[in-house]
């Protein structure tokens, strides 16, 4: 059985991306720079272009991952707004519109019982996402985040 998710172990890594794709792209950049240095000036244009394309691929894969995470954050924000609509009074719900996306994403780990008080506290004290996560007593795991 998997270890229950908590604040200490909730960060997620995608091994194929973090340990294979990023590593291969970094090694590719290293090889490209080495080729430019070793073959300067004979094939400077060819190997210079290899460096440029290596950096483009690295940035491109990083942006693709960032876009996917941003889409997840938007969905989490929507889910939390819907959950708050069911759990909070109208006055408390109106106050939660001051919450930032980061705060809403952190609140997803709070149980239904502690969400109202923690959301109110997050607005009043302007808690960071880290402070919100540390304040959660009854952790609601999110195993689907990548």
Walk along the chain (146 residues) and give the pLDDT tens digit of each residue.
467 888 877 877 788 998 999 999 999 999 999 999 998 888 888 999 999 999 999 999 999 999 999 999 999 999 999 999 999 999 999 999 999 999 999 999 999 999 999 999 999 999 999 999 999 999 998 888 77
| DSSP string for residues in 11-44 | ----HIIIIIIHHHHHHHHHHHHHHHHHTTTTTH
φ and ψ of 99, to 5 deg: -65, 140
HSE of 116 in the Cβ direction (CA atoms, 13 Å)? 10
Alpha helix locations (H) across 88-140? 90-95, 101-107, 115-125, 129-135
DSSP helix/strand/coil, 110: strand
């Amino acid at each position: 059985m998997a270890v229950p998710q908590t604040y200490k172990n909730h960060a997620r890594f995608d091994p194929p991306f973090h340990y294979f794709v990023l590593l291969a792209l970094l090694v590719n950049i290293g090889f490209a720079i080495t080729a430019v240095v070793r073959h300067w000036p004979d094939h400077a244009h060819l190997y210079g272009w290899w460096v440029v394309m290596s950096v483009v691929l690295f940035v491109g894969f990083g942006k693709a991952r960032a876009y996917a995470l941003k889409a997840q954050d938007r969905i989490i924000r929507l889910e939390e707004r819907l959950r708050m609509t069911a759990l909070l009074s109208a006055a408390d719900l109106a106050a939660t519109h001051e919450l930032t996306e980061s705060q809403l994403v952190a609140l997803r780990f709070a149980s239904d019982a502690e969400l109202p008080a923690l959301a109110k506290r997050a607005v009043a004290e302007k808690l960071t996402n880290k402070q919100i996560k540390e304040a959660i007593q009854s952790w609601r795991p999110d195993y689907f985040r990548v």
